[in-house]
């Protein structure tokens, strides 16, 4: 009779062995190299390091390999590693206006100072299966890719609107230390530093669905936002050690940034202004940066005194449910045994039925 | 200990933060104390809160018991026990009275616990009012102002509709006559054991980032009404293995015809009964 | 930056924490720290154990002492805790001498009573002096303690503090290598 509950130890071991075998079978005799993942599956690597919130392409690729391509699992592995790392310094805020750009576009102006840089994008590819890749043929894409000059300053598109007074002012500087989701539990009502940080490592699919819901009709204004500017490229990470008294650059990271222009009606007293939504992520994650900028604007509804009607405007709804490490964990926990609780329900439902059936009979 | 990781996995700064939270939680029995919960290498919803609490209190002199659904040998209990063996190299046991720390999911052992033991609960949803009010900002106010009418109305509605409260597990309790507290999804059968328990009770909710506590010898009362007093589950059957008629029983289906048998959910209790 | 603290950070702080945990879950119970080598002129062994175990960069500390500077330097060196002059801002307060009022510290917020200050009060004796009988969560029936060198009107102050529950400060009384913990739930009944 004990067969039902004994044997957990053995079962776990076999399951882990089977999982490891599965990985080996898939890659047969050719083990995938980490460098291949970084070079050839760069979008997957970028997604995992963004949602894993640890900027390390090697470890991101390693977790993808270990997770056998299950990206949500890879994100989880990377997060669990990140949490054990000691923090040795805080960086000064990165400055995206001095970004070494690989891509920069605006949908609000045909031409902008510094120009539009299309860069590497799927946007204008025809999504036709390329059978030439099937046999692992080497692609001869060795052409010199045009790259913007280093140290060139590209003014922000949004600044032009700002200078004319048409755009709401961006927060200049935080008064207190920014919220830190990796060290603090969430607080409500949330401030913008809190939600922008959380969204930056949230599940891309969840954010995409939410932002889509808003522009399709389940959003505050029903107006159409405009892409003010999208940037993708490298920025320097600097720290300011108190003992040195000056900034030093400790490396560079790839980021994607999106600024969205949205309408705001103003009031009888206040002249109308455009409002803005902002999104920033690690790596080349343009779709996600755009989604964040739409959600950022929606989450400001409370501040603007707009009626909170839709999921995207509800801070607790958005922020509590957007993290896929939390979400996948809790959904998957339903697989755990619940027979103690279920036994309670079984007893109760029998009890209740007995009572009612007896009463019906007596009647 | 495994290479590249600290004793008990968490770094010392994280342990310190959790330890401060645990002490505050004990000073405010039943209050849900927010803490900066970390990602653990086990999934959220699988015991990360309990694991963080255990990792912050455990030392080389401890003997750890881990149970899930009352049993030492369920897969998740084994997995958590193996995790601690890997990151702490501590002693483990299945014998309830030999453990100094017992981490549990969904049960309190049948054997009475002592002052020298700590019971660590894994909690999926620490907020007893969450099903009535989804917003954290609201439930926090309800607790602050001891505004618990919502809960009483809900329970009373159940009584008028079904003839009894239809909560069989996670049945809400009042801790130290102040905070309404979620006992975690333990069956209500276990609620009376929480009242004036000799052992310290710690509750960890990892995903929701809350820790709460019930000190030893503290009043814990299941919510009820004068005309509908709280009752625990009973069985007409006895345990098919040890013959116990006073422990929580799990029902198992033994053949294709759907015939049922009942066995103790607490496996260590059951084994002890057979031996004596 | 690495702060000094315990020689064996992991295991000494774990051991010390378990004693603090035991004292706090059993208010009035005297627990003893066995690592005497950490005592120093102005701070007792038990105070140092609490400081090394619970304080760090994330805790603001208020100090009330004739030796404020020495203690402040000691805490900064070993824990990195910011020192504050503002009682209401403090997460911990280290008090080695002088009278004090509990209600001048942070008593927590209605929605976040855990934000309250924890007082570490060094006293002269835990075996001689005035008797107090305690009751509250963690105590089976009642607990008798004997204290000397405590703040004036101790009984009234403790009871006024616990009448504000869930708000109120939490108290560690320290003497040589001994510790008694008095959470805000505790009342002095005699």
Average pLDDT estimate for B37-48: 92
Q: How many CB atoms lie within 10 A of CB B57?
A: 23
Provide the residue range defining the domain that includes C91.
9-188
First to last CA, chain A: 43
- Work out the pLDDT band at A27, boundaries 50, 70, 90: low
Query: Can you tell me the distance from the alpha carbon of B228 to that of B223, in angstroms, rounded to the nearest whole number?
Result: 10
Number of H helices, E strands in chain C: 4, 10
Distance from CA of C138 to the nearest CA of B (A): 5
CATH number of B12-222: 3.40.50.11310
- Work out the pLDDT band at B166, boundaries 50, 70, 90: confident
Q: Are B125 and B263 in contact (CB under 8 A)?
A: no
Give the pLDDT confidence score for residue A57 in this predicted structure: 97
Query: Can you tell me the distance from the alpha carbon of A315 to that of A164, in angstroms, rounded to the nearest whole number?
Result: 31
C3 belongs to a structural domain:
no
- Work out the pLDDT band at A1, boundaries 50, 70, 90: very low
Residues on chain C touching B143 (C-beta within 8 angstroms): 111
Give pLDDT tens digits for B169-195.
Answer: 999 999 999 999 999 999 999 999 999
Give pLDDT tens digits for A294-309.
Answer: 999 999 988 888 889 9
- Work out the pLDDT band at A150, boundaries 50, 70, 90: low
- Work out the pLDDT band at A178, boundaries 50, 70, 90: confident
Give the pLDDT confidence score for residue A177 in this predicted structure: 82
Query: Can you tell me the distance from the alpha carbon of A155 to that of A171, in angstroms, rounded to the nearest whole number?
Result: 18
Q: How many CB atoms lie within 10 A of CB A53?
A: 20
- Evaluate if residue A148 carries a pLDDT over 70: no
First to last CA, chain C: 48
Give pLDDT tens digits for A288-343.
Answer: 999 999 999 999 988 888 889 999 999 999 999 999 999 999 999 999 888 888 88
Identify the CA nearest to B211 among candidates B76, B19, B14. B19
Give pLDDT tens digits for A60-102.
Answer: 999 999 999 999 999 999 999 999 887 778 889 999 988 999 9
What phi, psi does C184 have (nearest 5°)? Answer: -65, -15
Let me know the angle formed at the C-alpha of C18 by C12 and C24, rounded to the nearest 5 degrees.
135
- Evaluate if residue B1 carries a pLDDT over 70: no
Domain boundaries, chain A: 2-82, 96-121+145-322
Residue of C nearest to B6 (CA): C10
Query: What percent of chain A is predicted at pLDDT more than 70?
Result: 90
Query: Can you tell me the distance from the alpha carbon of A346 to that of A294, in angstroms, rounded to the nearest whole number?
Result: 46
Q: pLDDT tens digits for chain C (190 residues)?
A: 567 899 999 999 999 999 999 999 999 999 999 987 887 889 999 999 999 999 999 999 999 999 999 999 999 999 999 999 999 999 999 999 999 999 999 999 999 999 999 999 999 999 999 999 999 999 999 999 999 999 999 999 999 999 999 999 999 999 999 999 999 999 999 8
Give the pLDDT confidence score for residue A138 in this predicted structure: 60
Give the pLDDT confidence score for residue A144 in this predicted structure: 55
- Evaluate if residue A267 carries a pLDDT over 70: no
Pairing between β-strand B200-205 and β-strand B210-214 as defined by DSSP bridges: antiparallel
Say if B27 is an interface residue toward chain C (CB within 8 Å).
Answer: yes
- Work out the pLDDT band at B225, boundaries 50, 70, 90: very high
Average pLDDT estimate for B38-50: 93
**Strand ranges (DSSP E) for chain C?**
31-32, 61-64, 83-84, 92-95, 118-122, 125-135, 143-148, 170-175, 178-182, 187-188
Which three-class secondary structure state does DSSP give residue C133? strand
**Strand ranges (DSSP E) for A44-196?**
100-105
**Strand ranges (DSSP E) for chain B?**
33-34, 63-68, 91-92, 101-105, 118-122, 173-175, 179-181, 200-205, 210-214, 220-222, 249-253, 260-264
What phi, psi does B185 have (nearest 5°)? Answer: -75, 45
C31 belongs to a structural domain:
yes
Give the pLDDT confidence score for residue A74 in this predicted structure: 97
Total number of domains in chain C: 1
Give the pLDDT confidence score for residue C79 in this predicted structure: 93
Say if C165 is an interface residue toward chain B (CB within 8 Å).
Answer: yes
Average pLDDT estimate for B209-224: 98
Query: Can you tell me the distance from the alpha carbon of B179 to that of A82, in angstroms, rounded to the nearest whole number?
Result: 35
Active site annotation includes B33:
no
Q: Is A12 in contact with B10 (Cβ distance < 8 A)?
A: no
**Omega cis (within 30) before C166:** yes
- CATH number for C152: 3.40.50.11310
- Comparing A228-232, A266-270, B162-166, C180-184, the range with the smallest average pLDDT is A266-270
Let me know the angle formed at the C-alpha of A60 by A59 and A61, rounded to the nearest 5 degrees.
90
Q: Is C138 in contact with B58 (Cβ distance < 8 A)?
A: no
What phi, psi does C6 have (nearest 5°)? Answer: -65, 155
Query: Can you tell me the distance from the alpha carbon of B163 to that of A213, in angstroms, rounded to the nearest whole number?
Result: 43
Q: Which residue has the tokens 């036709």?
A: A128
CA distances for A290 relative to A213, A343, B114, B239, angstroms: 14, 48, 57, 60
Average pLDDT estimate for B5-12: 92
Single out the catalytic residue among B33, B37, B49, B270.
B270
Query: Can you tell me the distance from the alpha carbon of A149 to that of A211, in angstroms, rounded to the nearest whole number?
Result: 34
C170 belongs to a structural domain:
yes
C115 belongs to a structural domain:
yes
Which residue in B3, B4, B39 has the most chain A C-beta atoms within 10 A of its own C-beta, making it the best mutation to test that interface? B39
Query: Can you tell me the distance from the alpha carbon of B65 to that of B111, in angstroms, rounded to the nearest whole number?
Result: 13
Distance from CA of B20 to the nearest CA of A (A): 14
Query: Can you tell me the distance from the alpha carbon of A314 to that of A188, in angstroms, rounded to the nearest whole number?
Result: 11
Query: What percent of chain B is predicted at pLDDT more than 90?
Result: 88
Give the pLDDT confidence score for residue A2 in this predicted structure: 42
Domain boundaries, chain B: 12-222, 234-276
Q: How many CB atoms lie within 10 A of CB C54?
A: 24
Residue of C nearest to B25 (CA): C114
Give the pLDDT confidence score for residue B191 in this predicted structure: 98
Q: Which residue has the tokens 């030392």?
A: B59
C96 belongs to a structural domain:
yes
**Omega cis (within 30) before C21:** no
Rg (CA), chain A: 25
Give the pLDDT confidence score for residue A82 in this predicted structure: 93
- Evaluate if residue B201 carries a pLDDT over 70: yes
Say if B36 is an interface residue toward chain C (CB within 8 Å).
Answer: no
Single out the catalytic residue among B37, B47, B206, B242.
B242
b/e code C68-98 from CB counts within 10 Å (16+ = b): eeebbebbeebbbbebbeebeebbbbbbbee
Single out the catalytic residue among B37, B49, B206, B239.
B239
Give the pLDDT confidence score for residue A137 in this predicted structure: 64
Give the pLDDT confidence score for residue A149 in this predicted structure: 53
Helices (H), chain B: 12-27, 48-57, 75-88, 136-144, 149-162, 191-194, 267-275
Residue of C nearest to B117 (CA): C22
Query: Can you tell me the distance from the alpha carbon of A162 to that of B246, in angstroms, rounded to the nearest whole number?
Result: 74
Pairing between β-strand B210-214 and β-strand B33-34 as defined by DSSP bridges: antiparallel
Residues on chain B touching C8 (C-beta within 8 angstroms): none
Identify the CA nearest to B135 among candidates A194, C112, A186. A186
Q: Are B272 and B94 in contact (CB under 8 A)?
A: no
Chain centre to alpha carbon of residue B46 = 13
- Work out the pLDDT band at A25, boundaries 50, 70, 90: low
Give pLDDT tens digits for C81-97.
Answer: 999 999 999 999 999 99
Chain A 49-88, CB below 8 Å of chain B: which residues? 76-77, 79-80, 82-86
Chain centre to alpha carbon of residue A238 = 23
Give the pLDDT confidence score for residue A4 in this predicted structure: 45
Pairing between β-strand C170-175 and β-strand C178-182 as defined by DSSP bridges: antiparallel
Which residue in C25, C27, C91 has the most chain B C-beta atoms within 10 A of its own C-beta, making it the best mutation to test that interface? C25
C4 belongs to a structural domain:
no
Rg (CA), chain B: 19
Give pLDDT tens digits for B236-276.
Answer: 999 999 999 999 999 888 888 888 899 999 999 999 999 88
Which of A5, A329, A348 has the CB atom closest to B207's CB atom? A329
Chain A 86-145, CB below 8 Å of chain B: which residues? 86
Active site annotation includes B27:
no
Give pLDDT tens digits for A95-125.
Answer: 998 899 999 998 888 878 888 888 999 888 8
Residue C177: which residues within 8 A CB-CB, separation 6 or more?
C32, C33, C34, C36, C39, C44, C45, C46
């Amino acid at each position: 009779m004990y067969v039902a509950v004994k044997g957990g130890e053995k079962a776990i071991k076999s399951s882990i062995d089977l999982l490891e075998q599965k990985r080996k079978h898939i890659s047969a005799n050719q083990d995938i190299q980490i460098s291949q993942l970084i070079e050839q599956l760069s979008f997957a690597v970028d997604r995992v390091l963004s949602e894993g919130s640890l900027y390390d392409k090697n470890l991101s690729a390693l977790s993808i390999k270990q997770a056998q391509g299950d990206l949500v699992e890879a994100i989880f592995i990377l997060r669990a590693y990140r949490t054990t790392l000691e923090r040795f310094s805080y960086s000064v805020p990165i400055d995206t206006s001095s970004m070494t750009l690989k891509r920069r576009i605006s949908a609000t102006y045909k031409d902008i100072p510094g120009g539009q840089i299309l860069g590497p994008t799927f946007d204008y590819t025809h999504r036709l299966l390329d059978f030439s890749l099937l046999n692992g043929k080497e692609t001869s894409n060795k052409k010199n890719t045009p790259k913007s000059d280093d140290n060139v300053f590209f003014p922000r598109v949004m600044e032009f609107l700002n200078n004319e007074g048409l755009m709401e002012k961006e927060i200049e500087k935080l008064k207190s230390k920014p919220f830190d989701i990796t060290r603090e539990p969430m607080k409500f009502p949330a401030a913008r530093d809190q939600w922008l940080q959380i969204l930056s490592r949230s599940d891309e699919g969840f954010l995409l669905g939410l932002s889509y819901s808003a522009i399709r009709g389940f959003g505050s204004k029903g107006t159409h936002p405009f892409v003010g500017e999208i940037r993708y490229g490298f920025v320097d990470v600097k720290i300011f050690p108190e003992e040195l008294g000056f900034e030093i650059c400790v490396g560079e990271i790839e980021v994607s940034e999106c600024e969205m222009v949205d309408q705001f009606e103003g009031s009888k007293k206040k002249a109308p202004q455009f409002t803005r939504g902002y999104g920033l992520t690690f790596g080349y994650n343009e779709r996600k940066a755009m989604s964040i900028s739409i959600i950022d604007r929606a989450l400001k509804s409370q501040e603007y005194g707009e009626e909170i009607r839709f999921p995207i405007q509800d801070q607790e709804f958005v922020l509590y449910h957007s993290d896929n490490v939390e979400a996948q964990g809790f959904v998957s926990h339903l697989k755990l045994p619940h027979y103690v609780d279920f036994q309670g329900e079984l007893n109760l439902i029998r009890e209740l039925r007995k009572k009612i059936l007896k009463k019906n009979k007596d009647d | 200990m495994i290479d590249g990781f600290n004793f008990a996995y968490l770094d010392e700064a994280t342990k310190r933060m959790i330890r401060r939270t645990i002490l505050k939680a004990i000073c405010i029995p039943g209050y849900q104390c927010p803490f900066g919960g970390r990602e653990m290498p086990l999934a959220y919803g699988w015991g990360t809160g309990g694991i963080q609490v255990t990792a912050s209190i455990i030392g080389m002199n401890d003997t750890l018991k881990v149970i899930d659904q009352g049993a030492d040998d369920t897969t998740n209990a084994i997995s958590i026990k193996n995790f601690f063996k890997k990151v702490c190299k501590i002693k483990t046991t299945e014998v309830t009275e030999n453990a100094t720390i017992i981490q549990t999911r969904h049960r309190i052992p049948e054997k009475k616990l002592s002052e020298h033991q700590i019971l660590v609960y894994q909690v999926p949803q620490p907020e007893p009012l969450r099903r009535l009010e989804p917003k954290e900002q609201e439930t926090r106010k309800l607790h602050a102002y001891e505004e618990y009418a919502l809960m009483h109305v809900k329970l009373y509605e159940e009584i008028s509709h079904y003839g009894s409260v239809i909560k069989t597990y996670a049945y809400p309790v009042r801790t130290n006559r102040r905070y309404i507290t979620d006992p975690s999804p333990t069956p209500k059968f276990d609620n009376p054991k929480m009242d004036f328990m000799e052992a310290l009770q710690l509750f960890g909710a990892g995903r929701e980032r809350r820790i709460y506590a019930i000190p030893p010898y503290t009043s814990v009362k299941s919510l009820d009404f004068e005309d509908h007093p709280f009752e625990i589950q009973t069985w007409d059957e006895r345990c098919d293995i040890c013959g116990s008629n006073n422990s929580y029983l799990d029902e198992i289906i033994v053949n294709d015809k759907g015939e049922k048998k009942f066995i103790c959910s607490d496996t260590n209790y059951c084994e002890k009964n057979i031996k004596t | 930056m690495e702060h000094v603290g315990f020689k064996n950070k992991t295991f000494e702080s774990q051991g010390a924490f378990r004693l603090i945990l035991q004292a706090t879950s059993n208010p009035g119970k005297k627990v003893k720290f066995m690592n005497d080598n950490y005592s120093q002129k102005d701070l007792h062994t038990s105070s140092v154990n609490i400081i090394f175990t619970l304080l760090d960069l994330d805790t603001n500390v208020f100090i009330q002492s004739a030796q404020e500077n020495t203690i402040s330097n000691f805490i900064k060196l070993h824990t990195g805790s910011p020192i504050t002059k503002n009682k209401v801002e403090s997460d911990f307060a280290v008090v080695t001498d002088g009278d004090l009022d509990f209600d001048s510290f942070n008593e927590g917020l209605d929605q976040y009573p855990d934000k309250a200050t924890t007082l570490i009060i060094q006293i002269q004796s835990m075996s001689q002096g005035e008797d107090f009988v305690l009751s509250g969560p963690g105590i089976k029936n009642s607990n008798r303690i004997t204290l000397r060198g405590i703040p004036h009107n101790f009984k009234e102050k403790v009871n006024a503090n616990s009448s504000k529950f869930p708000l109120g400060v939490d108290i560690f009384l320290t003497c040589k290598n001994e510790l008694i913990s008095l959470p805000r739930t505790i009342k002095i009944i005699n």
